[in-house]
Amino acid sequence: MMKTIPIRAGNPYEVLMERGLLDRAGKLIRERTAARWAAVVSDDTVFSLYGARLTDSLRGEGFQVEPFIFPAGEASKNLNTYCRLLSFLADNRLQRTDPVIALGGGVTGDLAGFAAATYLRGLPFVQIPTTLLAVVDSSVGGKTAVNLPEGKNLVGAFHQPLTVICDPALLATLPPEEIRSGMGELIKTAVLSGEEFFRALETNSDPLPGEELLARAIETKAALVEEDEQDRGARRLLNLGHSFGHAIEAFSGYRVPHGQAVAEGLLMITRAATERGLCDPALLPRLTALMERCGLTSDHTYEAARLLPFLHQDKKLHGGHLPLIVPRAVGHCDIIPVPLADLSSWLKAGGAR
């Protein structure tokens, strides 16, 4: 049976979840728009796996469909691909009510969402997430962005989707490193959520989390987004693990996948918080065990001096302070503004040298 998770944003919408939903995407989108045209945005890997099923389903509902396909990977999430996508929308004369449909992971969703947010000052947007990371995190909440050479996600907009169509069967073709990456964001969400969710992950033995866990993660994110759609308060907790994680990701030249970097960042901030007596000492061993089981720990020791420049470029910097999301215990995190001069000692307490 189809599961429906309501997202009570300014423009409310639903995450629809059921195996096999991809083949009904046309009908589900048709129920929400009378438009004649639809633009499908996808990377070349995902489109070759699932593109035909989506376009057939849309055409079956009378949509005229044009696909925009770009090379898979974070390197495509830039202004160049964004401009090509805008020209594609213009060449195909998309109108104000025609939907842009993102079929893919977080890169596709962020890129297509930003084009949908800005072309003609906003087109309807549909997310069909195909990675674990996109299902549990990036497809919900309306953040869209592309990277600049100077840093990640520096240009973007808030643009909530019309709906999110989640078909968990699509995750079956994910390579193991992408499942690991998604587990990084899932574990982060469980730390924010509380004991029940965290224990469910600790006792989960499936390599790919089941629908119950996926839904729980979406509900946790939804609750934070509903409270703070524009990311000024409670939603910032979702950045748990991200300040150090983004620095690791950027320092590696984006070779460390996003969710893996978040996992490493989460372990570092938990270690630092524990060493400073700010965190329940029970969390670090539990987190380490869970990460090890998911293949998310690494032997690599980062140099604090090499990560620091990336922390100084963090877009959350405010008044000479970086707000770090600090875990106190499972289900309890705080935002602590840390002066720039103290960041090096936080990194070292977290395990950097």
Residues making contact with ligand NAD (CB under 6 A): 43, 45-46, 49, 72-74, 77, 104-108, 110, 130-131, 133-134, 137-138, 141, 143, 153, 170-171, 173-174, 178, 181, 258
- The residue with its CB nearest to ligand NAD is 106
Cβ proximity to ligand NAD: between 142 and 351 the closer is 142
Of the candidates 104, 128, 120, 109, the one whose C-alpha atom is nearest the C-alpha of residue 48 is: 104
User: Both tokens of residue 327?
Assistant: 């875990």
Give one DSSP letter per residue of 127-183, joined into a string. Answer: EEE-SHHIIIIITSS-EEEEEETTEEEEEEEE---SEEEE-GGGGGG--HHHHHHHH
Amino acid letter at 344? S
Query: Least CB distance from residue 44 to ligand NAD, whole Å?
Result: 7
Give the separation between CA 136 and CA 157, rounded to whole angstroms: 20
Query: Least CB distance from residue 341 to ligand NAD, whole Å?
Result: 28
Cβ proximity to ligand NAD: between 6 and 71 the closer is 71
In terms of Cβ atoms closer than 10 Å to its own Cβ (0-12, 13-18, 19+), residue 38 is buried
Cβ proximity to ligand NAD: between 106 and 209 the closer is 106
Cβ proximity to ligand NAD: between 186 and 272 the closer is 186
Query: Least CB distance from residue 138 to ligand NAD, whole Å?
Result: 3
Query: Least CB distance from residue 339 to ligand NAD, whole Å?
Result: 27
CB atoms within 10 A of CB 207: 11
Query: Least CB distance from residue 229 to ligand NAD, whole Å?
Result: 12
Query: Least CB distance from residue 26 to ligand NAD, whole Å?
Result: 19
DSSP 3-state assignment of 48? helix
Cβ proximity to ligand NAD: between 95 and 173 the closer is 173
Output b/e per residue, 320-344; b: 16+ Cβ within 10 A.
eebbbbbbeebeebeeeebeeeebe
Cβ proximity to ligand NAD: between 99 and 141 the closer is 141
Inter-residue contact 36 to 98 (CB < 8 Å): yes
